[in-house]
Each structure stands twice: as structure tokens, then as C-alpha cells.
Amino acid sequence: MILQPVFSESWAIIFGLFGLSGFILGWVAQRGNYCFVNAMTSIFTTKSFERFGALLILFGLTALGTGLLVAFGLIPPVDQYFNNYFAGWYILVGSFIFGFGAALAGGCNLSMLYRASSGYVQNWIELFGMMIGTYVFAVAIWPFQSYTMENGIFSTSSGGYVEYLPYVLFHSVSDMSVYLTTMIVGLPLLFLGIYLQMRTRGKWNRGTAGMGGLGMKAVGAKALPGVPGPTPSSIPSNLRLKQDVKDMLLLRKPYGTNLSTVILALDMILVFIVGAGYTFNYLVITSSDGGRFFEYILMPLGINLFTNTPWFNSSLPIVDPSTLMVVMLCVGAFAASYLSGDFKIRIPRDRKRLAIGFVGGMLVGIGVRMALGCNVGLMWTNFGQLGYDGYIFLGGMLAGVFLAVKVQEKL
């Protein structure tokens, strides 16, 4: 089946909008310090669900946005399910390896890219490790994995609409089935995310209240016993809001987690609209490009991986919207870090962190290729596709992050 573009814009406009989307992704992720791995590690280290709740809100908003566009007939359903990957053992195992490696290295694919663009040398090493990991996967794992996929061994063998939840639940891809599935998927994710955030903040508030009068000493020497000192809540909310907006616009203050979440969800929906007719999942990739760049780096040396390595033989060309998005993601992150004064070449004092970053990056490269995508290109995107692979990836990644936290406690 050959998809037809839904909208009639020129390729210049299409590429320009994808570039803008990538720029927004990098800018907002950098200003919001947005990291899927940190959101998960905080569950096991500080028992905080603040950032993990934001992830669920992100998935819920994305599912609602893309699903409603399809349900109301603005985008054909085929654009949601066309490139849904085959589900199988490799998604669970790959996401576990990815989560373990990313937690060791200190960041997911998204944070790895924007931190590398902000001057973190450890993330440069992680990126190189990911390239090597991709090669290891292509040589040692992909032949076996592709065999199991082709023969349906612990995996489906159809992909596409077979992995599409409206079809799974209702055996239909009609507007109504898509609408009902959108509500079933999107609303619980959204409400659960809000609940987890409220629960975490409630614990913080109770912890602060439990300090009793100790908080008075932090207010100032002039505070009298029994007399409330000035607090942020005593400032009119409209003035605080205006000041916060001004500080964020002037890059004096980072974006809040939930503000970043809403902007990122809208950005993903923008990609879905602009890419209608080009397949959604194909366009939102942050991991394949690492392996592909390794291929291009070796070409001047006369080494052509695409001629003798099956995975590279089927990899995507360098001039496509996906690559442009990754490049502009890095540009947006660099611009945000430089203009805000955050950019700085940072080399960890503990040099073993560089070695750990390389090993973690290799595991990330192996894991994302085995899973057929990363936390952005598979997990987040698949929630927007109304598939179920995102749930599998989320479970495997959480397990991998948990193990990495336990391993790091022993180091």
C-alpha cells in the first residue's frame, strides 16, 4: 500500500514544518529538563511520581489529540496504524535493555540529544556508544530477530491495523471505534497522571507542614512568633503568573514540567497532522539516526555497511524528515542552552562516568534497535498511534530502570 499525502503543501513546507517541530522538541526539552529516565528513576529513588505522572499526561494528551483527529475524519485512520510495528518478545527485551542502559548512562534518547547539545561530554560518549551498539545489534542480533519476526515466533507477523487497538477491541477502524478507543486509552492515562502528581504534591505539603515552626526561621529575622511571615501565596496569583511568564520568556527560569508536557504533546500532534500521508511512526525517530550516522562516518574510509550488513541495507536515507527533526532538535536544544547561559562544556570529575556512559550508550543502541524504536519513536509515538506496543515498552523500560538503580546502589 502506498500512502497519499493528505495535504497538498510543497515538500519545502513539509520539511520546514518538520524542522520547526524538531526545534520545538529540543528547545522545550532543554528548558524543561525533560527526561523519561529521570521520571522513572525518581519513582525508585525519591518515591516521587511528579515527573512520571507528567509522562502519563503526555501519553494521554497525545492519544487524545491524534485519536480525535482521526475519529472526526480529519486524518485517515490508516495514518495511525500504517506503521504500527509487529509486537513480540523483542519489544519487551529491547525496552528492558534500553531502560537499563539509559539509566546507567544518565538519560533517555531525548535527554541524551539535548544534553549533548548543551555541552555534556558524557552524553557525547553515550551517543558514540549508541552507534557501536547499533552495529553490534546489526551483526549479532538482527539476523535471529528478523527470523522470529518473519515466522511469528513469540511475535505477531502482520503489524499495521492488527496492532491497532480500535481493531483489537472492536474489530473495526470506523470513526466510532476510534473515538471510543481514544477515550479508553487517553482519559485513564491523563487522570492517572494527574492523580500521581497530586499524590506526590500532597506528600510534599504534609512534609512541609510537619516541620512546624521551623519554616519561620527561613522567612527572615523579623518574623515574630505566631505571626505569619510573607509567603509566595501572599503575592497575588496574577502577579506571580505574569512574573513567571516573563522570566520564562527571558530564559531566566526553566519551564515547569507540566507546561513542557503540554507543549511537547502539541508538538507531537503537529507532526501527526503535517505528516499525514507519510506514516506517523516513520517520521518521529530519535534513535535510528545514531546508527545511520555511524554508517555515513565510515563511508569516507571505504567501509560501506549497507552492502554487507542487512540492517544497514534497509536503513533510511540521510535526507528525510526524520533526520531533519533530529538535527533541528539538537539545534533547538543548543539555542535554548546558549541563549539562557546554560551552555558549557562539562566533563564529569569522576572520569569513570565516561566509561559508564559509553557502556550505557551501547546498551541503549542495542535495546532500541531490538525493540524497533526508543522511548520517543516507539513508546510515546505508539500511544499516539493507539497501539499497544507503547504499554509493552513502558513496562520493560520501567523494569530495566529499576534494575539499573539497584546496580548503581551497589557501585
How far apart are the C-alpha atoms of 375 and 385, rounded to whole Å?
Answer: 14
Percentage of the chain lying above the pLDDT 90 cut = 55
Q: Give residue-wise pLDDT tens across range 325-356.
A: 888 999 999 999 999 999 999 999 888 889 99
Answer whether residue 84 shows pLDDT above 60.
yes
How far apart are the C-alpha atoms of 50 and 182, rounded to whole Å?
Answer: 24
Average pLDDT over residues 246-258: 87
What pLDDT is recorded for position 310? 76
Beta bridge partners of 387: 164
Q: Does the residue 368 lie in any domain?
A: yes
Answer whether residue 135 shows pLDDT above 50.
yes
Q: Which domain holds residue 161?
A: 11-203+249-410
What pLDDT is recorded for position 301? 81
- Residue 217's pLDDT band, with cuts at 50, 70 and 90, is very low
Q: Does the residue 225 lie in any domain?
A: no
How far apart are the C-alpha atoms of 99 and 108, rounded to whole Å?
Answer: 8
How far apart are the C-alpha atoms of 54 and 42, rounded to whole Å?
Answer: 12
Average pLDDT over residues 110-135: 92
- Give the predicted TM-score (pTM) of the model: 0.89
Averaged pLDDT score across all residues of the chain? 86
Q: Give residue-wise pLDDT tens across range 18-34.
A: 899 999 999 999 999 99
DSSP structural state of residue 161? G
Average pLDDT over residues 176-181: 98
Average pLDDT over residues 266-288: 82
Q: Give residue-wise pLDDT tens across range 37-72.
A: 999 999 999 999 999 999 999 999 999 999 999 999
Q: Does the residue 342 lie in any domain?
A: yes
- Residue 149's pLDDT band, with cuts at 50, 70 and 90, is confident
Which residue, among 262, 270, 276, has the nearest Cα to 61 in the 3D structure?
262
Q: Does the residue 227 lie in any domain?
A: no
Q: Does the residue 316 lie in any domain?
A: yes
What pLDDT is recorded for position 100? 97
Better pLDDT: 321 or 118 = 118
Q: Does the residue 221 lie in any domain?
A: no
What pLDDT is recorded for position 205? 81
DSSP per-residue codes, 230-284? --GGGS-HHHHHHHHHHHHHTTSSPPPHHHHHHHHHHHHHHHHHHTTTS-HHHH-
CA angle 368, 369, 370 (to 5 degrees): 90
Q: Does the residue 263 lie in any domain?
A: yes
Number of domains in the chain: 1
Q: Does the residue 208 lie in any domain?
A: no
- Residue 3's pLDDT band, with cuts at 50, 70 and 90, is low
What pLDDT is recorded for position 150? 85
Answer whether residue 130 shows pLDDT above 50.
yes
146-150, 203-207, 247-251, 294-298 — which one is most confidently predicted on average? 146-150
What pLDDT is recorded for position 1? 57
Owner of C-alpha cell 522538541: 25
Answer whether residue 117 shows pLDDT above 70.
yes
What pLDDT is recorded for position 216? 37
What pLDDT is recorded for position 157? 64
